[in-house]
Amino acid sequence: MSGREVPVWTNRSRRNMRRPRVGFGRGMVRLGAAVVVLAAVGCGGDDEREAADRAREKSAYEMEKKHEKTVLSETVLDSLRAMKVRFSITRDEYWDDKGGVLANEYLEVWYPVGGATVTHGMHAFGLIVSARDAVQNAFGAVPGERLTVRCAQTMADYTKDTGKEWWRYGRIRGDEIEFQPVPTIYQRGLDRIAVPREYYLWALGKLSAGRLPAWWLEGYASLLSGEGPVLRSQMGEFPDQKLKLDLKAIESALRKENDRMAYRIAAFNAFSMIERLLGQYGPEPLSSAVKMMKEGKGVEDAIEASYGKPYRDVVEDAMAFEIKL
């Protein structure tokens, strides 16, 4: 099919397409919680952990193949229809050769061909809507740009398209985020962290006019998404490594994104810095500095105006965090 609108909210509407894969319920994908398979932040980098990661991915693929001709239940369809109204979705199309799209005024989510992938797309949609609401509450504004989200069909597709390794949740390029395959991140228990985190990275970049330092941007996104406990637990994977870095090393590792251990340790440091600032000063200076950057102030001026002290002193305060594993 091509071009014409295809409502996915009835089984009849898909009678000429590949049937939606079932597995959308407690055992696979929850409605309202985004099942966007991003990276396995909880997996280690050794051969045993990577083998287990591949096995989980294979299991998810086999489960989808097994159910790809099964029709979605009326209960699931009813929930999808309700969410379509709740999220003000005005575009709902599907093509046999490229999958489908769900869109409203500010968000467009593309999901892959077949199975219950419409439920994956809707799950991602819901998580991003919730993250957008959180940004509105924190900053009194959201980016005016329309965001496009693409959910990869397979990990091989994701790596080929983005150049990112398995341990990166997604790739942000302009006003587009590409995530790893949807079922995997749910199985890893990271859906409610990974999807919002990538949205926060995009939104904070927009709201600060791209001025936020890497440590602040990454650390704030980790804090808002609830990634802190994941990062803290991962530090146990690196017992022989120096876990507290200086600012230059943190920003370098975050920008390069070419080594899992270096990146995750740097991300933990960035999160810990923001967590300390929040504990010391509360949320208001964090938010007001971002707003000032959007209005045109430079990083140092915005932070000094928000915290009442020079940028270097704020960084020194942030770096005084203690590592507690």
Q: pTM of this prediction?
A: 0.81
pLDDT at 25: 33
Residue 41 has a pLDDT of: 33
pLDDT at res. 254: 96
At residue 73, the pLDDT reads 87
pLDDT, mean of each 10-residue run, the chain (325 residues): 44 38 31 32 46 58 50 89 97 92 98 86 96 96 97 90 89 96 83 96 97 97 97 94 96 94 97 97 95 95 97 97 88
The pLDDT value recorded for residue 65 is 54
What pLDDT is attached to residue 248?
97
Residue-level pLDDT at 52:
53
Note the pLDDT of residue 259: 93
Residue 115 has a pLDDT of 67
Residue 148, SS3 per DSSP: strand
Q: Where are the domains of the chain?
A: 1-196, 208-325
pLDDT at res. 135:
97
pLDDT of residue 22: 31
